[in-house]
């Protein structure tokens, strides 16, 4: 079996918010497969902007399911960051959808 799968992607329009466009690769040598690389793109706002890289980095290594992702994303939102146009549910939804996509 190939060690990684991807890049996988999904777009998700946050209700009342912006369009999230997630790209990721999965490490298939883990059971369940783990996020090996992740980019959260989109037309949302985050202050400070560079925090998005911390969010992406802190999700690498996790299984690509809501149970695993939600607490980390929630902890990020609870920190000293302001996000407009995206929320915890939207980001988790977009990442999980990308993990389940065919491409």
Partner 1 sequence: MSQNWRLIRHDARPAFSNMAIDEAILKHVVAGTSPCTLRFYRWQPSAVSIGYFQSMGQEVDLAACEARGVDVIRRLTGGGAVYHDYDGEITYSLTMPDDYPGLPRNVLESYDLLCKGLVLGLRSLGMPAEFSPINDIVVAGRKISGNAQTRRFRGVLQHGTLLCEVDPHLMFTLLKVPNEKIRDKLIAGVEERVTSIRREMGTVDRDQVTQAMIDGFAGALDIELAPGELSDDELAMADQLRKERYESHAWTFKR
Given the complex with partner 1, which of 33 and 76 has the nearer CB atom?
76
Eight-state DSSP code of residue 98: H
Determine phi and psi for 98, rounding to 5 degrees.
Answer: -65, -40
Report how far residue 100's alpha carbon sits from residue 64's, in angstroms, rounded to the nearest whole number: 9
Query: Is residue 42 at the binding interface for partner 1, with CB under 8 A as the rule?
Result: yes
Cβ 27 to partner 1 shortest distance, Å: 21
Contact indicator for 37, 67 with CB cutoff of 8 Å = no
Given the complex with partner 1, which of 28 and 51 has the nearer CB atom?
51
Given the complex with partner 1, which of 75 and 84 has the nearer CB atom?
84
Cβ 49 to partner 1 shortest distance, Å: 5
Report how far residue 61's alpha carbon sits from residue 64's, in angstroms, rounded to the nearest whole number: 9
Write out the residues near partner 1 by the rule CB under 8 A: 11, 17-18, 21, 23, 39-49, 52, 82, 84-85
């Amino acid at each position: 079996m190939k060690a990684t799968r991807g890049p996988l992607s999904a777009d998700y329009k946050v209700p009342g918010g912006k369009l999230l466009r997630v790209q990721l690769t999965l490490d298939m040598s883990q059971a369940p497969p783990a996020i090996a690389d992740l980019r959260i793109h989109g037309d949302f706002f985050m202050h400070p902007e560079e925090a998005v890289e911390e969010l992406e980095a802190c999700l690498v290594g996790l299984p690509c399911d809501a149970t695993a992702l939600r607490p980390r994303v929630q902890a990020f939102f609870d920190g000293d960051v302001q996000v407009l146009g995206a929320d915890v549910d939207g980001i988790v939804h977009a990442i999980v959808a990308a993990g389940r996509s065919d491409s």
